[in-house]
Amino acid sequence: MNKLKRNLLAVIILLLAFGLAVGQTNTDAPVKVTFLHVNDVYQFMPVEGGKRGGLARLLTLKKEVLKENPNVLFTLGGDTLSPSVETRTYKGAQMIDAWNAIGLDFSVFGNHEFDLKTTELLKRIKESKFTWLGANIVDTNTGKIFAGTPEFVIKEFDGVKIGILGVILPEAKETSSMDDTLKVTDYCLTANLIVSRLRRVEKVDAVVGLTHLFMAQDKKLAQCADFDLILGGHEHTLLQSSSNGTPIFKVTADAREMGKFTLNFDRTTKKLQSMDWELIPVTDEIPDAPEFAVIVDKYKDLLEKLSEPVGRTSVTLDALSLSNRTKETNIGNFIADAYRDAAGADIGFVNGGSIRADLIYSPGVLTKRDVISMLPFNNPIVKIELDGKTLLEVLEHSVARSAEDNEPGRFPQVSGMKFTFDTSKPAGNRIVEAFVGGKRLVEEAKYSFATSDFLVSRGGDGYSMLSKGKVLIGAENARKDSEVFEQKIRKAPDSTISPRLEGRIKRIN
Ligand SMILES: [Zn+2]
């Protein structure tokens, strides 16, 4: 053996010894499996003026986690295909493109997935490179799970088997346009059967629930089936709980933060020994993953149009559905003013249910997206003449569900008038007093009234009495709601608005 060969042999022996040493450490080290989780993500671009969220940043975070540990699963806790301004054009296909680019592994169906027509939703499922879960959505025609969705999946990492299943809240049926042929079955019973099978028959080493439920339901779920971890969604609130020893997590919405959950298994026994978790804020300090640029590019035209600034707000705007359907709000006042100004009427009147977005807008820039998110329906703003008696009828109708319903869509936001109502009185008798232009409402007087044509010609939200009004500006000559809203923002001094609560609506009881 010459010197060169001897040296080579020495190197090989050294390498073998080193390899063995590395192998030795690996035998002791736990098998780590990391779940990266987000929920309720309606747009792939960042939110809050670019400060938070953004799927290009999520991809960067995922790539970093992959460097520490190749055993990574990316999960979504449902609600992504709707509602959004983009979905009006692309029917959720834009989100599927984005999730495919991220390399999402699993998503549970959220209630909002069923805002889409079933035929559209089935197309989206087909386009998905990830697996949808939702074991308790049953097609009553076949008795099988909706869209051929698997009851559960099993992923194996270094011999460790993890079972994953998804369930959805029963309320999904009433709060979406889910087909009559679909049924949401009991999530507890469903999970109990599947988890038992995963543990006893499939011999998995851990079970993870991917859910779209209210937290109280998640807690109940943890009582009726033996989960190691539940990753949820639906509330849009950062929630961390434990029930029956099972940790339950959900993050806010639109990927403002990402949950990172690492399950540590004994390499020999495969037993789950411990869990680590961390909530990572997704901020503008995280660079975009360059691979995501193709997605942004594909939807560039619409995104650019939507991101066009129309003005600013110097105050926080309350566009929450609950607020706009129960009390006077600053944005409700502003929109009602916009209707009244645009039509040149005595009164501007907005049904709270037509103010959408369901968001709080912090002071800052307002974009076209914000305007359309708040008023998405493109309703013409018509002007009619009402006598005082009918106006009182309108007001009584507007608060007739305020004691009975959590969020009555008919609840009004008003301009040019004030009123007080008492929810302890019977419906139809709740208006205590009302003023128009600072003067007490007179039943014989005539008032001009600007509102959405949806209420006038279609009797929307039950406002059938509005059809009695004499039409002064009809739908064919009327301007659209989002257009008059946008114009009022642009026309404000420095295009900056600062609407306030002014005591236009007072509630007793
Ligand atoms: Zn939901």
Number of domains in the chain: 2
Q: What share of the chain is helix, strand, coil (3-state, %, to 5)?
A: 35, 30, 35
Q: Is residue 5 included in any domain, yes or no?
A: no
Q: Are residues 341 and 236 in the same domain?
A: no
Q: How far is the CA of 18 from the centre of ligand 1 (A)?
A: 52
**Which amino acid makes up residue 78?**
G
Q: How far is the CA of 34 from the centre of ligand 1 (A)?
A: 24
Q: Confidence band (pLDDT; 50, 70, 90) for 220?
A: very high
Helices and strands, number each (H, E), in the chain: 15, 30
247 preceded by cis ω (within 30°)? no
Q: How far is the CA of 272 from the centre of ligand 1 (A)?
A: 31
Q: What is the pLDDT of residues 222-235, one digit of tens each?
A: 999 999 999 999 98
Q: How far is the CA of 37 from the centre of ligand 1 (A)?
A: 15
Q: How far is CA 221 from the centre of its chain?
A: 22
Average pLDDT rounded to a whole number, residues 241-258: 97
CA geometry: angle 197, 194, 215, nearest 5 deg: 140
Can you give the pLDDT at residue 15? Answer: 47
Which of 301, 317, 344 delimits the end of a domain?
Answer: 301
Q: Which residue stretches of 55-169 are H helix?
A: 55-68, 85-90, 93-102, 118-127
Site of tokens 């109990």: 192
Average pLDDT rounded to a whole number, residues 343-351: 98
Q: How far is the CA of 402 from the centre of ligand 1 (A)?
A: 24
Residue 465: how many other CB atoms lie within 10 Å? 18
Q: What is the pLDDT of residues 296-319, one digit of tens each?
A: 999 999 999 999 999 999 999 999
CB 492 within 8 A of CB 311: yes
**DSSP class of residue 142?**
T
**DSSP class of residue 255?**
T
Q: Is residue 468 included in any domain, yes or no?
A: yes
Q: How far is the CA of 112 from the centre of ligand 1 (A)?
A: 6
Q: How far is CA 440 from the centre of its chain?
A: 42
φ and ψ at 341, to 5 degrees? -60, -45
Q: How far is the CA of 256 from the centre of ligand 1 (A)?
A: 16
**DSSP class of residue 285?**
T
- Rounded Cα distance between 167 and 218, Å, is 10
Can you give the pLDDT at residue 24? Answer: 45
Domain that residue 182 falls in: 29-301
Q: How far is the CA of 266 from the centre of ligand 1 (A)?
A: 36
Does the pLDDT value for residue 407 go beyond 90?
no
Does the pLDDT value for residue 195 go beyond 60?
yes
- Rounded Cα distance between 81 and 18, Å, is 51
Q: How far is the CA of 358 from the centre of ligand 1 (A)?
A: 13
Q: How far is the CA of 65 from the centre of ligand 1 (A)?
A: 28
Q: Confidence band (pLDDT; 50, 70, 90) for 2?
A: low
- Rounded Cα distance between 403 and 427, Å, is 9
Q: How far is the CA of 295 from the centre of ligand 1 (A)?
A: 25
Does the pLDDT value for residue 157 go beyond 60?
yes
Paired residues of 182 in beta bridges: 139
Q: How far is the CA of 110 from the centre of ligand 1 (A)?
A: 5
Q: Are residues 201 and 314 in the same domain?
A: no
What is the percent of the chain with per-residue pLDDT over 70, rounded to a whole number? Answer: 95
Q: How far is the CA of 279 from the centre of ligand 1 (A)?
A: 21
Stronger pLDDT, 395 or 3, i.e. the higher one: 395
Q: How far is the CA of 169 from the centre of ligand 1 (A)?
A: 8
3-state secondary structure of 15: helix
Choose among 359, 341, 339, 358: nearest CA to 350.
Answer: 339
Q: Are residues 342 and 233 in the same domain?
A: no
Q: How far is the CA of 173 from the centre of ligand 1 (A)?
A: 11
CATH number where 391 lies: 3.90.780.10
**Which amino acid makes up residue 106?**
F
Can you give the pLDDT at residue 288? Answer: 98
Q: What is the pLDDT of residues 355-377, one digit of tens each?
A: 988 889 999 999 999 999 999 88
Can you give the pLDDT at residue 377? Answer: 80
Q: What is the pLDDT of residues 93-138, one digit of tens each?
A: 999 999 999 999 999 999 999 989 999 999 999 999 999 999 999 9
**DSSP class of residue 469?**
S
Which of 270, 301, 332 delimits the end of a domain?
Answer: 301
Q: Are residues 289 and 321 in the same domain?
A: no
Q: What tokens were used for 392?
A: 């009182």
Q: How far is the CA of 80 from the centre of ligand 1 (A)?
A: 9
Q: How far is the CA of 168 from the centre of ligand 1 (A)?
A: 9
- Rounded Cα distance between 2 and 329, Å, is 90
Can you give the pLDDT at residue 442? Answer: 98
Q: Are residues 250 and 381 in the same domain?
A: no
- Rounded Cα distance between 382 and 417, Å, is 18
Q: Confidence band (pLDDT; 50, 70, 90) for 444?
A: very high
- Rounded Cα distance between 110 and 176, Å, is 10
Q: Are residues 291 and 329 in the same domain?
A: no
Q: How far is the CA of 86 from the centre of ligand 1 (A)?
A: 18
Q: Are residues 168 and 240 in the same domain?
A: yes
Q: How far is the CA of 77 from the centre of ligand 1 (A)?
A: 9
Which of 279, 301, 323 delimits the end of a domain?
Answer: 301
Can you give the pLDDT at residue 7? Answer: 57
Q: Are residues 269 and 402 in the same domain?
A: no
* Ion ligand 1: residue ranges with CB closer than 5 A: 79, 110-111, 234
Does the pLDDT value for residue 211 go beyond 70?
yes
Q: How far is the CA of 38 from the centre of ligand 1 (A)?
A: 13
Paired residues of 207 in beta bridges: 163
3-state secondary structure of 355: coil
Q: How far is the CA of 154 from the centre of ligand 1 (A)?
A: 25
Q: Is residue 2 included in any domain, yes or no?
A: no
Q: Are residues 237 and 113 in the same domain?
A: yes
Task: Give the 3-state DSSP-derived string for 189-235, with helices as H, strands as E and coil as C.
Answer: HHHHHHHHHHHHCCCCCEEEEEEECCHHHHHHHHHHCCCCEEECCCC
Q: Confidence band (pLDDT; 50, 70, 90) for 176?
A: confident
Site of tokens 């974009």: 367
Close Cβ partners of 70 (under 8 Å, ≥ 6 residues apart): none
Q: How far is the CA of 355 from the centre of ligand 1 (A)?
A: 19
Q: How far is the CA of 166 from the centre of ligand 1 (A)?
A: 14
Q: How far is CA 253 from the centre of its chain?
A: 6
**Which amino acid makes up residue 36?**
L
Q: Are residues 443 and 470 in the same domain?
A: yes
Q: Are residues 141 and 221 in the same domain?
A: yes
3-state secondary structure of 17: helix
Q: Which of 337-346, 367-376, 452-461 has the highest mean pLDDT?
A: 337-346
Alpha-carbon distance values, 211 to 60, 125, 370, 393 (Å):
25, 18, 29, 45
Choose among 106, 99, 42: nearest CA to 77.
Answer: 106
Q: How far is the CA of 212 from the centre of ligand 1 (A)?
A: 6
Close Cβ partners of 178 (under 8 Å, ≥ 6 residues apart): 114, 172, 184
Q: Are residues 326 and 290 in the same domain?
A: no
Q: Is residue 8 included in any domain, yes or no?
A: no
CATH number where 87 lies: 3.60.21.10
Q: Is residue 263 included in any domain, yes or no?
A: yes
Q: What is the pLDDT of residues 74-90, one digit of tens each?
A: 999 999 999 888 998 89
Can you give the pLDDT at residue 177? Answer: 79
Q: What is the pLDDT of residues 11-42, one digit of tens each?
A: 455 444 444 444 444 578 999 999 999 999 99
Q: How far is the CA of 131 from the centre of ligand 1 (A)?
A: 19
Does the pLDDT value for residue 286 go beyond 80?
yes
Q: Is residue 271 included in any domain, yes or no?
A: yes
Average pLDDT rounded to a whole number, residues 284-294: 98
Q: What is the pLDDT of residues 418-436, one digit of tens each?
A: 999 999 999 999 999 999 9
Can you give the pLDDT at residue 376? Answer: 84
Can you give the pLDDT at residue 225? Answer: 98
Q: How far is the CA of 319 from the centre of ligand 1 (A)?
A: 18
